[in-house]
Amino acid sequence: MAVRQPAPAPVSTTVAASPAAARDGAPAVPATAPGWRVHIGTLDLAGSHLRWRDTAVQPAVDWNFDAPQLRVTKLGWPLDAPAPFEADIAGPQGLQLRISGQADAQQAQATLAATHLDPRLAAAYAATALGGLAPPRGQLNAQATLDWRTKAARLNVDVRHAHWTGFAFGAAGGGLQAQDITLSGTQLHWAAQPRTLLLDVGRAQIDGFATGQNAALRAAQLSVSQAHVDLAAHTASVGEVQVMRPQASVARDPTGQWSFRHWLPQNLLRAPPGAGAPPSTTPPWRIQVRQAQVQGGRFYLADTRPKRPVVVAFTGVDLGLHDATWPQTRATGVTLSAHVS
């Protein structure tokens, strides 16, 4: 460790005061002393503990972290050169982090490996982005790289691999559920100005997918590739969607209400504004899918709206969609084969 303060210049015993100082009788003002500079070759900390409390958010955050090992090399003050670091961190609810990288006052780059991460820990900070919905439940393991730029207020996260077990989003017994979710080649881009939140997914695979009360819609596997989602502009474009062995029971009651309206978590679909309410400034979602395939589907329809109720079963459903959009702005290519009974 080296601490240096530049030596002051030699001081003459005879000081010539400025004319103004001599005239006013005020002493001459000495020059500002150079700032301190500190250099540390290696800093090793063992058994460190950090408590993070934030009462400015709701619910208030109170996290405890333990760092059995923390090492920083080439550390200096001011932070004008990147300092390499590595750490093992244990967080709340069994969270384990291993992080390494380098950082200074202007930027930071890091490689992160996380296990036993419960996304509900971020409930207070994710409330705005989720529109008041609770974060998904489950356990997440991930390996990612992070790139932070202070001056531009920009963060890029490159998720090399992520595995989510026991995923659940929405009320218990309904909402979205999945046994396993695997992500690869996923990137998240965030910037403060202009407001930017982009998500690019190379490939996502969902095993044991279900949604709605009592898993009204379910599928053995759902995969998505080459997806680009602009969470700020509410747009999404998807290269390919594959759904394997989906099953669903669709019903319409005597009032004309379809059951599939309850397949999504409550509050996920925005309610229409009341009379006299100002129009929303948030743009509606626009979705494009280049190609979608459904294989081995089984669907059951019960319509009690007509005087004579209708019950139809569709089995062995194979469906293909090409250039589909929502809302629909152009013709969609459709191929369909099924057994109807």
Q: What is the pTM of this model?
A: 0.77
With 90 as the cut, is the pLDDT of residue 89 above it? yes
Whole-angstrom distance, CA of residue 171 vs CA of residue 211:
11
Domain range summary for the chain, segments of one domain joined by +: 136-265+284-341
**82 near 56, Cβ under 8 Å?**
no
Half-sphere CA count of 133, side-chain side, radius 13 A: 20
CB 17: neighbour CB atoms within 10 A? 13
The mean pLDDT of 279-303, rounded to a whole number, is 90
For 206-255, write each residue's pLDDT tens digit.
Answer: 999 998 777 788 999 999 999 999 988 999 999 999 999 999 988 888 88
With 70 as the cut, is the pLDDT of residue 182 above it? yes
With a CB cutoff of 8 Å and minimum separation 6, the contacts of 339 are 314, 315, 316
**45 near 89, Cβ under 8 Å?**
no
With 60 as the cut, is the pLDDT of residue 80 above it? yes
Helix (H, G, I), strand (E, B) or coil at 119: helix
Assigned token pair, 255? 């009032």
Q: How far is CA 39 from CA 68, 86, 120, 273, in A?
A: 24, 18, 40, 60
**186 near 166, Cβ under 8 Å?**
no
With 60 as the cut, is the pLDDT of residue 11 above it? no
**Residue 1: predicted pLDDT:** 55
**Residue 258: predicted pLDDT:** 84
Tell me which amino acid residue 275 is: A
Q: Which residue has the tokens 């909402």?
A: 175
Tell me the pLDDT band of 273, cut-offs 50, 70 and 90.
Answer: low
Put residue 316 in one of left, alpha, beta given phi > 0 → left and psi -120 to 50 → alpha.
left
Q: What is the DSSP string of 55-111?
A: -SSSSPEEEEEEEEEEEEEEEEES--S-EEEEEEEE-GGG-EEEEEEEE-SSEEEEE
> Which range is least confidently modeled, 123-137, 138-152, 157-171?
123-137
Nearest to 218 by CA among 235, 229, 206: 206
**Residue 130: predicted pLDDT:** 72
Half-sphere CA count of 305, side-chain side, radius 13 A: 11
More confident residue, 129 or 251: 251
Q: How far is CA 3 from CA 45, 211, 323, in A?
A: 20, 62, 65
For 20-75, write each residue's pLDDT tens digit.
Answer: 555 555 566 666 777 889 888 999 999 999 999 999 988 899 999 999 889 999 98
Assigned token pair, 116? 């036993």
With 80 as the cut, is the pLDDT of residue 16 above it? no
* Chain centre to alpha carbon of residue 285: 18
Looking at residue 328, the DSSP 8-state letter turns out to be -
- Per-chain mean pLDDT for the chain: 86
